[in-house]
Amino acid sequence: MNLKSKIVFAAVVAALSIGAANAAPMVVKFSHVVAEGTPKGQAALKFKELAEKMLPGKVQVQVFPSSQLFGDAKEMEAVLLGDVQFIAPSLSKFSRYTKKLQVFDLPFLFDDIEAVDKFQHSADGKALLNSMTSKGIKGLGYWHNGMKQLSTDKDQLKRPDDVKGLKFRIQASDVLEAQFRAVGSNPQKMAFSEVYQALQTGVVDGQENTWSNIYSQKFYEVQKTIAQTNHGVIDYMVITNAKWWDGLPADIRKGLEQAMDEATAYGNGIANEFNERDRKRILEAGKAKIQVLSKDDVGAWRKAMEPVWKKFEGEIGKELIQSALKANK
């Protein structure tokens, strides 16, 4: 190398290293529909904290709660279009991409969140994370919220007869639609961000949700009775665009994967506690009353909703339902 080439070489090396040092971090967006003070809200923030710690200067995670960036209607398309990198929809919202996840919506299938967790960690549960790869969606993990309770603007909510003819907001799920029809109510699919107003103005009479969502969305302020039914579950799948994920530099993918695993463990560890805390807060607020049901009452709901299982057995698969049932003690 003569002197001139040496100088040019040194300049190129210097320019490249300055470029590398100044390279802006990759910005990835995480959008969700709930409040920050919920299990999902906290898990998303934990993911940001860990990802930025594990990939310093390489990745910046922006978290958008409360449907600020995308609500229920648009978030899946946004992932496929690359407008957002991570979302964590409720398992009830995937039926356009797979029918298998409908198993989580079958009423009274899981005894409690421990059973849900056990099924998610089984071979069949893990396989569901990849049930949408042909549609371009990759599941990175399951996040817990908790068991669902039923609420209405009426005084009595003990037996299936108490909801006859009432209008209920539901998530976009055919199973949930059938569940409410089975007890003689009128279900209406609606985005999460619209529920409070619909309850307040009487567009619907009731809804079903977890304690943490009922508290953080203030549904308890516009409902008279919340029945402790634990009749189903609201859990989430964190998803990303499969092509984008597979195309990431290996070190970044590895860091994000690790951050996701740790955030998942963190969020799933606090979910029960958050729901219990919010149940107490609702009780203390003294606005809606909490109706605790007897074994007999719960049995009546279970029996009334039972036909839903048969209706969806074909789409979900008998074996998968049996496999989920095995997770109960």
Residues of this chain that interact with ligand LMR (CB under 6 A) are: 33-34, 90, 145, 171, 192, 209, 213, 234
- Given the structure tokens 């059973």, which residue do they identify? 115
Give the H/E segment covering residue 189: strand 186-189
54 or 145, CB closer to ligand LMR? 145
Which is nearest to 236 in space by CA: 31, 2, 61, 12?
31
Q: To the nearest whole angstrom, how small is the minimum distance from the Cβ of residue 213 to ligand LMR? A: 5
Torsional sign, CA 215, 220, 226, 232 = negative
Rounded to whole angstroms, the maximal C-alpha distance in the chain is 93
Task: Tell me the CA end-to-end span of the chain in Å, nearest whole number.
Answer: 75
78 in Cβ contact with 87 (< 8 Å): yes
Parallel, antiparallel or unpaired: strands 149-152 and 225-228: antiparallel
90 or 275, CB closer to ligand LMR? 90
Q: To the nearest whole angstrom, how small is the minimum distance from the Cβ of residue 274 to ligand LMR? A: 12
Q: To the nearest whole angstrom, how small is the minimum distance from the Cβ of residue 322 to ligand LMR? A: 26
Q: To the nearest whole angstrom, how small is the minimum distance from the Cβ of residue 13 to ligand LMR? A: 50
33 or 101, CB closer to ligand LMR? 33
89 in Cβ contact with 75 (< 8 Å): yes
Residue nearest to ligand LMR (CB): 90
16 DSSP assignment: H
Neighbours of 174 (CB within 10 A): 19
196 or 325, CB closer to ligand LMR? 196
Q: To the nearest whole angstrom, how small is the minimum distance from the Cβ of residue 139 to ligand LMR? A: 16
Q: To the nearest whole angstrom, how small is the minimum distance from the Cβ of residue 272 to ligand LMR? A: 15
Which two structure tokens, joined as six digits, stand for 155? 């005084």
Residues 193, 190: Cα–Cα separation, whole Å: 8
Neighbours of 50 (CB within 10 A): 20
90 or 152, CB closer to ligand LMR? 90
Q: To the nearest whole angstrom, how small is the minimum distance from the Cβ of residue 299 to ligand LMR? A: 26
58 or 64, CB closer to ligand LMR? 64
Neighbours of 110 (CB within 10 A): 25
Q: To the nearest whole angstrom, how small is the minimum distance from the Cβ of residue 10 to ligand LMR? A: 55
34 or 271, CB closer to ligand LMR? 34
94 or 108, CB closer to ligand LMR? 94
85 or 217, CB closer to ligand LMR? 217
Say if residue 97 is exposed, middle or buried (CB neighbours under 10 Å; 0-12, 13-18, 19+): middle
Q: To the nearest whole angstrom, how small is the minimum distance from the Cβ of residue 81 to ligand LMR? A: 21
Buried b (16+ CB within 10 A) or exposed e, 210-243: bbbbbbbbbbbebbbbbbbbbbbbbbbbbbbbbe
